[in-house]
Structure 1
Amino acid sequence: MAQAAWDTQHRTMIAEQSNAAITDEQVNRARANLKLATQTLARIQPLLGKGYVTAQQVDDAQTAKHDAEISLKQALKQTVASQALISSAAESEALLSARRAALAIAEQELENTQIRAPHNGLVVGLNVSAGEFVMPDQAVFTLINSDHWHASAYFRETELAHIKPGDCATVYVMAESPACDSGQSGGHWLGDQLRGAV
């Protein structure tokens, strides 16, 4: 749409430049007509006293000169007006650039409205409903990774000798008592150190 507006503006600018050229030619023609009317009046005025021309012919020459002066004034005003109407290419380019930038921003904002999960999972803690506004970086739910689970358990240090990395473990989910999952022990922490390899 911005490109179409620029194309229209470009065509308008060409038409405005053509109109300005035409008014320049009209000024030249009006000047030539005024020069001719002035010369004609200057030639026939002395002839009136000698009777070679009539008073009507002198009046016609004066009227022609006056009309030529008015035509020149009008042509000059039209030239000023047509020059003022000419748009510059810089204005059109600036408008096109601004519209392209606005389009890029709108496309980016539209892209940001799509939510993509980084992994498979379960949505929990959803506290919004359809039609609510969400601010950028506002957490609206938690996505629990359903592909990989991690369980933490606390044991007495005296029991750690019996638990080795790779041992089979059965984990019960507190929210769903009958549900359980099996996996392997990955190691255990003592204070701030991991003992054993995954």
Structure 2
Amino acid sequence: MSRVVARRAWTAIVVVALAALAVGVDAITPGATLRSSPFPGLGSGSASSGPLTVEVHGAELASSIEVDGERRETTGAFVVLDVTIASREDVDLLDRDLVLDGRVYDASTKGPTAWQESHPAPGIPVRGDLVFEVDRDLVVGGAPVDLLVAPGFDAAGDLQPQVVVRWDVDGAIVDVVAVEALAR
């Protein structure tokens, strides 16, 4: 093998090794959520972590909800949480999920759209009702739920909950609950 071919082979091996190292470092570098708060804030009723503070003031169970005078039905049950979310930083997007009996539920699209359009700003918290549609059998007789809140979304896909608030949802499933819009 000539010296030129050997040199090119070693160069190719070094380039491939450096590329593999770069991919490996990128894969283990935490995304935005984990950098701002590597461990979620956990609490019962309220919790804080990174820039976020979340407080649950109460919860109701309903067969239907009323939003802006319109009644909306579900085949399961609605869990309506009265929540305040505050942030020390600008937040463009908030992901909100509910964990009940090991199952994760996204915020219902039947709830008010204000949560999708308005997020807390530094020093200006928002308060309103978050609505989730869940399996009715899981909440009959009461159940503990975890509200998971995470800011934003990043390309690394590490959107882990930054704040986890546990709340005991109990009481009867009422016919209808009037859902409150956001307030600042």
TM-score of the aligned structures, taking structure 2 as reference length: 0.26
Judging by fraction of residues, say which structure has more helix.
1
Judging by fraction of residues, say which structure has more strand.
2
